[in-house]
Structure 1
Amino acid sequence: MAHPKRKISKTRRDKRRTHYKASAPKVAVDAVTGEAHLYHRAHWHEGKLYYRGQVLIDNTEEVEA
């Protein structure tokens, strides 16, 4: 007969038996660029940083040396 070498705690046992699983992150599509991104996160598209359809940072401009 099989016997466990150590007692499994109630917490560890219940963690294994739970039905709670991690869900996939929700993805939004920007109306301006059509780029898929996470909700409430800024995203880069063609050298520009967008948040809620507005450009925050524009790295496409060339810097004069």
Structure 2
Amino acid sequence: MPANAQALGNYSQVDCSTTFQWLQRTSPTEAGECTEAAWASDNPGYNVDAVPAARLKKVQMAVGPAC
């Protein structure tokens, strides 16, 4: 499956945790998985609709062994 991207808000509506905290708790950790997140302001011009998605710059958090 090609890498994909999403633009997310600052907080999880489920439990009011920050998006980074929520991603750290809920992202897959199996072999081959990688979830990265960064501030949009640190990645100007990033195209979330590109397939495959480009790697983020200034990553704030990463989960998974393939990161």
The structure with the greater share of residues assigned to helix is: 2
With structure 2 as the length reference, what TM-score do the two structures score? 0.18
With structure 1 as the length reference, what TM-score do the two structures score? 0.18
**Structure whose CA Rg is larger:** 1
Q: Which has the higher contact order (CA 8 A, sep 6+)?
A: 2
The structure with the greater share of residues assigned to strand is: 1
